[in-house]
Amino acid sequence: MKVYVVRVGNVEEEVLEFIRKGLEETFYRGFCVISEHIIEVPSGSYNRVRQQYISEPILNEVLKFALSLEREAGEPCIVLGVADIDIYTPGMNFIFGEAQCPGKAAIISLFRLRPEFYGEEPNRQLFMERAVKEAVHEIGHMLGLRHCGNPVCVMHFSLHIGMTDMKTSKFCRDCMSKLKAMMVL
Ligand SMILES: [Zn+2]
Ligand SMILES: [Zn+2]
C-alpha cells in the first residue's frame, strides 16, 4: 500500500519532504509518494464569519482525487491532503486534521502548527515534527485506528498543541499490533 501526499492550495515544498521522510520512518521505505497534483481549496469551504474553512468539502475533494488515482493505478490508494489554512468542523473551534476512519481520504492543516501562531519564536524543526505527527495520526485513522488512551502514542487525540508536543510520531505497542493484524505493517 502507498499513501499519496497532495497539496491543498499553497504549501511549502520543504514541509512535504519532511513529512514524507517522517512517514517512511514510522511506516516503511517507499510508503509515501508526494503527488505533483494540487487540489484547489473549494471556494464554498470558506466561512466569512469564522474566517476559517470547513473541512468536509475539502475532504471530499481529497477523496475524489484518491478515487481517480485508484482508477489510474488499478490498486488501492490512500491520500493525505496537506493544507496551510485554518480548518474546522461543526462543534469544534478548529481541527488539526480529519480523516475517514477507515477510508481513503484525510487532511491535515499546518496553520496551527507553527510556534509563531502561539506567539512563540519560530522553530522550523518543531513545526515540521508537529506536521509529521498529525500526518501519521490521520493516516492511522485511514487505516482504521481509533484514538488511543496512551498520551505518547501518535493516535492520542490532540485537543491543543501541547498534546501534540507530548505525543511521539510513533504508534504504541497496542496500535502497532492492530496495524500488524490488519497486515498494514
Ligand atoms: Zn484523531
Ligand atoms: Zn496507541
Would you give per-residue pLDDT tens digits along the chain (185 residues)? 889 999 999 999 999 999 999 999 999 999 999 999 999 999 999 999 999 999 999 999 999 999 999 999 888 899 999 999 999 999 999 999 999 999 999 999 999 999 999 999 999 999 999 999 999 999 999 999 999 999 999 999 999 999 999 999 999 999 999 999 987 66
The pLDDT value given to residue 98: 98
- pTM summary value: 0.96
Ligand 1 center to residue 162 CA distance, Å? Answer: 15
The pLDDT value given to residue 185: 60
Tell me the three cell numbers of residue 185: 505493517
What domains can be seen in the chain, in order of their start residue?
2-146 (3.40.390.10)
| Ligand with the closest atom to the CA of 99 | 1
Which of 61, 129, 134, 138 is flagged as catalytic?
138
The pLDDT value given to residue 152: 97
The secondary structure of 129-152 as a DSSP string is HHHHHHHHHHHHHHTT----S-TT
Spell out the residues 6+ positions from residue 25 whose beta carbon is closer than 8 angstroms to its own.
Answer: 169
Ligand 1 center to residue 54 CA distance, Å? Answer: 17
The secondary structure of the chain as a DSSP string is -EEEEEEESS--HHHHHHHHHHHHHHS-TT-EEEEEEEEPPPGGGEETTTTEEEHHHHHHHHHHHHHHHHHHHSS-EEEEEEE-S-EE-TTSS--SEEE-SSSSEEEEE-TTTSGGGGTPPP-HHHHHHHHHHHHHHHHHHHTT----S-TTSTTS--SSHHHHHHS-SS--HHHHHHHHHTT--
Ligand 2 center to residue 144 CA distance, Å? Answer: 12
Active site residue 138: yes
The pLDDT value given to residue 112: 98
The pLDDT value given to residue 88: 98
| Ligand with the closest atom to the CA of 101 | 1
